[in-house]
A and B are shown apart, each in its own frame.
Chain A
Amino acid sequence: MKKVALILMAMLFVLSASAVLMAQGYDAQPADAKIIPLGEKGTAYENQEPGVQGGTMYVATISDPKKWNSVTAHETSTTQYTNMMLRGLVDINPVTGAIEAELAKSWDISVSNLVITFHLRQGLKWSDGEPFTADDVVFTFNDLIYNEDVETDTRDILLLPDDTYPVVEKVDDYTVKVTMSMIFRPILNSIGTPILPKHAVAQYVHKLNPDVPVGTFNSSWGLDTDPAELVGMGPFMVESYAPDQHVTMVRNPYYYHYDAEGTQLPYLDKYVLLTVASQDVSLLKFRNGELDALGIRATDVPILKREEAVKNITVLVDPDVANYGTSWISLNQDIGLAEGTHENLRTLYRTRDFRAAISHLVDKQAMIDTLYNGLAVPQWSPVSYLSPFYAGRDYYGGPVTETDAVVFEYSLDKAAELLDGIGIIDRDGDGWRDYEDGTRVEIEINTNAGNTVREGVCLIVSDRASKIGLKLNFVPVDFNTLVNKLFAATGDMIVLGLTGGNEPNSGSNVYNSCGGLHCWRYSACDEPNEIEKRIDDLLDAAVATLDNDEAFEIYKEYQITLANDDLGLVYTVNSAFTYAYSNRVGNANISGPTATPSGTNGLTMDLAFLK
């Protein structure tokens, strides 16, 4: 009875919090509006339904955003908001996974495959009412992404093998031409990066406004920015932000998506992300009806299954579908490099056999059994399990057979043997292994506090390491602090994850030796070893062919080389798709596997509505 009361309590709260609709917006539906054919048979959206406008939806997150700037963001704690605020020329259909038109309504590809002409939607406006034109597109690429003063990972995924970038030119106000110097197969994946409003942010770009110092853009749209100054083309804009409490997003009155009945999207008036201390709190809040959707863990499934009927929620579990993305352990091979410290540890991390020893300590089955209730799969590749390029397949898009999987089976003996082989042994008889100089090997292993699964991974690895005398000290830290450690190369051993997609080139910012997120060895950019050079070559080769089968074979070698020879990241396990939502949320069934820890998983927020 208590549980029922809490649901009702939350419903009351939601009702009282429902916002008044914002004013302004289009006078009439723009001719070039994007129509989402919800419920129409034969379309990708036939299993969804037209909704009604209004209401506030609540989800939870365990991290505050770092900024509101999508171009410089590296972390999902930021992009979960900027992805709501902004749109790109193209995007990936949430149902089919195919590339589809967004700010561009169509595009033509030249016979040579070297020129793409994008035709932009006309009559669209930014959230502040200013017109959207080709100038915004050209500005985003030429003055932001290609601008060396701007810190962005997006450059990495647009870099062609000949070290040039696609040239972006304005043809007229609603036509943009993209010219490449060579074949670049994933161009449509890479070109979908969010477009920013020139009129709102050009002032922060030194090359356009010499009055501001170089690099000013990198700190623009920070958390101290008045939300009213944030401008976007996405379904929601930030209305307010309270650290450790919430981010409230409000409908963009100029969003250009409409349903087939002419109702402007998003349906929701507001979308609130509550910042909570841990996944325990978010689970409790969802259970109590205070949240409308939750990206759940396998360990949450029994708890929510028993309440599924009583509390009118849906718990989606698909044991055969692993989420996109990767989960891994990073060993910072540059630790102390800048400061001239940690020489022993740095040398150790740079030893491939040590990284192999750590791989043998990853008790994946224990993780799957205890942290995921069996709802997870072992992971070994940098490419997502669902990608048609995943090397666990025998051919492009084929079934997963894992024939060529690189497996470091859990084996204390093999790990100990490898450590013995590199001279990491117990030299003073205290039970802990030491360096050659007699000092104890002592490693700090971090993950983001509150993520109980990652904390569990740390504990399992630490426990197994201790069984062979390797001392790992687990210290959970705040997510954004952890990200800072990763980028400053000041971290030690870190357990984290990356988002993923179908196209492996989207990981070039990570796996290319000069990638902005090559977090285990940034120094590789200046001093790549032979393996890293090979990986760079493979990445280049795979994008230079339009033949997916050929690209598959190249990516296969790339994955095996990374997993077996490079071992920059030690992969753990990847959860199966699990998700829960209140049945009062319409179109929640569109959710699909992603690695976005936003609490909404693949929920397409502009289609969600409250019944």
Chain B
Amino acid sequence: MKRTGILVLALVSCALVLFFVAGMGSSVAELEDIVGNEIINRIAPNISAAAGMKLASEYAGSKTQEELETLVISGATAGIRTAARMALSITYAQKTVIELTALATGDIDPAFREAASAPLQNFLIEMSADDLKTMAVSGATHEIRLAAADLYYLKTRGDLTAEKLEMEAVLNDSAELAYMAGVYLSGFYLSFNPKTMEELEELARNGETEGMRMAGATALTSMLIQSDLTAGDLELAVQAIGDAYPELLQAYTDALAHRYGS
């Protein structure tokens, strides 16, 4: 046990040095190094995924749809799978509304449904707010419910207030609507109803519901990106947070992905 522990510590130490250097440079080659590194994937899959986010356009330009669909499922690391899924979303933009709907509602791997949901929104935006809300409640899959919930709040943005969203992020007609209420609430925390970084971090960590935690986490991501924290700082934070606080972890991972790309 002791020996294994020492080995792991050494690996983490090396990995952090590697991440930091990559974060400073963040060229495609360096990002490829990170997402291809199984040790990083094993120790810090979120860092691998963060690098993957920034490789999506590279994947979309260099791989076929079939290759991407294979990598989404069987990519060796979280970074490769993330890059492939996001690249697939770019590729799927060429599909028809019927094809995208079939994918987003299909009995297939959720990664494919998520990839199809984003381009599908370009068609769903034509629906009325009421119809979008209905879809956000009773859509066939989580992914299409989430896409509809997003557009429902976009279309009703004229009626939104922080108070209204705070209620709807706690109690709503579907989990997806509550989640998106939180995401939209985050914008108010960054503009008309500002909160401090400490308040947002606490909300992302211990918010009453997933929606409220998302409100904190999404706003926190913006603040982290605009902060002086380096990629190395964010990598350390991602490691320290672990899986106990998924929304907080997501905030730091998203900010780290941004650092990789900047």
B40 within 8 A of A: no
Complex contact B56–A5 (CB within 8 A) = yes
Complex contact A9–B90 (CB within 8 A) = yes
A19 within 8 A of B: no
Complex contact A306–B57 (CB within 8 A) = no
Q: Number of B interface residues, CB 8 Å?
A: 49
Cβ of A4: which chain B residues have Cβ within 8 Å of it?
53-54, 56, 86, 257
Complex contact A299–B160 (CB within 8 A) = yes
**Given contact pairs A309-B222, A310-B222, A6 touches B118 in the complex (Cβ within 8 A):** yes
**Given contact pairs A4-B56, A8-B57, A309 touches B155 in the complex (Cβ within 8 A):** no
Cβ of B122: which chain A residues have Cβ within 8 Å of it?
284-285, 288
Question: With the chains together, A308 CA to B115 CA distance in Å?
Answer: 23
Question: With the chains together, A307 CA to B241 CA distance in Å?
Answer: 23
Tell me which of B49, B61, B121 contacts A12 (CB under 8 A).
B61
B47-72 contacts to A (CB < 8 Å): 49, 53-54, 56-57, 60-61
Tell me which of B87, B192, B225 contacts A309 (CB under 8 A).
B225
Complex contact A2–B188 (CB within 8 A) = no
B183-211 contacts to A (CB < 8 Å): 183-184, 186-188, 190-192
Contact with A along B127-166 (1 / 0, CB 8 A): 0000000000000000000000001001101111000000
A370 within 8 A of B: yes
Q: Number of A interface residues, CB 8 Å?
A: 38
A293 within 8 A of B: no
Question: With the chains together, A29 CA to B29 CA distance in Å?
Answer: 42
In the complex, what residue of chain A is closest to B50 when comparing beta carbons? A1
Cβ of B226: which chain A residues have Cβ within 8 Å of it?
309
Q: Output the least CB separation between A496 and chain B (Å).
A: 19
**Given contact pairs A1-B86, A9-B90, A12-B57, A302 touches B184 in the complex (Cβ within 8 A):** yes
Q: Output the least CB separation between A480 and chain B (Å).
A: 21
A277 within 8 A of B: yes
A214 within 8 A of B: no
Most A CB atoms within 10 A — which of B49, B118, B158?
Answer: B158
A301 within 8 A of B: yes
Cβ of A309: which chain B residues have Cβ within 8 Å of it?
221-223, 225-226, 258
Question: With the chains together, A9 CA to B57 CA distance in Å?
Answer: 7
Complex contact B187–A305 (CB within 8 A) = yes
Q: Output the least CB separation between A437 and chain B (Å).
A: 39
In the complex, what residue of chain A is closest to B226 when comparing beta carbons? A309
A130 within 8 A of B: no
In the complex, what residue of chain B is closest to A300 when comparing beta carbons? B157
A283 within 8 A of B: yes
Complex contact A2–B114 (CB within 8 A) = yes
B101 within 8 A of A: no
Cβ of B155: which chain A residues have Cβ within 8 Å of it?
280
A371 within 8 A of B: yes
Question: With the chains together, A301 CA to B54 CA distance in Å?
Answer: 26
Question: With the chains together, A143 CA to B1 CA distance in Å?
Answer: 95
Complex contact B158–A456 (CB within 8 A) = yes
B44 within 8 A of A: no
Complex contact B125–A5 (CB within 8 A) = no
Cβ of B254: which chain A residues have Cβ within 8 Å of it?
1, 310
In the complex, what residue of chain B is closest to A285 when comparing beta carbons? B122
Question: With the chains together, A309 CA to B227 CA distance in Å?
Answer: 10
Question: With the chains together, A453 CA to B157 CA distance in Å?
Answer: 11
Cβ of A317: which chain B residues have Cβ within 8 Å of it?
191
In the complex, what residue of chain B is closest to A3 when comparing beta carbons? B118
Cβ of A3: which chain B residues have Cβ within 8 Å of it?
118
Complex contact A306–B93 (CB within 8 A) = no
Tell me which of A5, A310, A452 contacts B89 (CB under 8 A).
A5
Most B CB atoms within 10 A — which of A8, A288, A452?
Answer: A8
B105 within 8 A of A: no
A405 within 8 A of B: no
Tell me which of A8, A277, A310 contacts B258 (CB under 8 A).
A310
Complex contact B187–A302 (CB within 8 A) = yes
Complex contact A1–B85 (CB within 8 A) = yes
Cβ of A406: which chain B residues have Cβ within 8 Å of it?
none
In the complex, what residue of chain B is closest to A317 when comparing beta carbons? B191
Cβ of B89: which chain A residues have Cβ within 8 Å of it?
2, 5-6, 9
A11 within 8 A of B: yes
A291 within 8 A of B: no
In the complex, what residue of chain A is closest to B86 when comparing beta carbons? A5
B41 within 8 A of A: no
A281 within 8 A of B: yes
Most B CB atoms within 10 A — which of A9, A370, A371?
Answer: A9
Q: A-B pairs with the 9 shortest C-beta distances?
A: A302-B187, A5-B86, A8-B57, A309-B225, A9-B90, A306-B187, A309-B222, A5-B89, A305-B190
**What are 8 A-B interface contacts by the 8 Å CB criterion?**
A2-B117, A6-B118, A8-B56, A280-B154, A284-B125, A299-B160, A302-B160, A309-B221
Q: With contacts A4-B257, A5-B89, A299-B160 known, what are 5 further pairs, Cβ within 8 A?
A: A1-B86, A284-B121, A302-B160, A307-B222, A456-B158
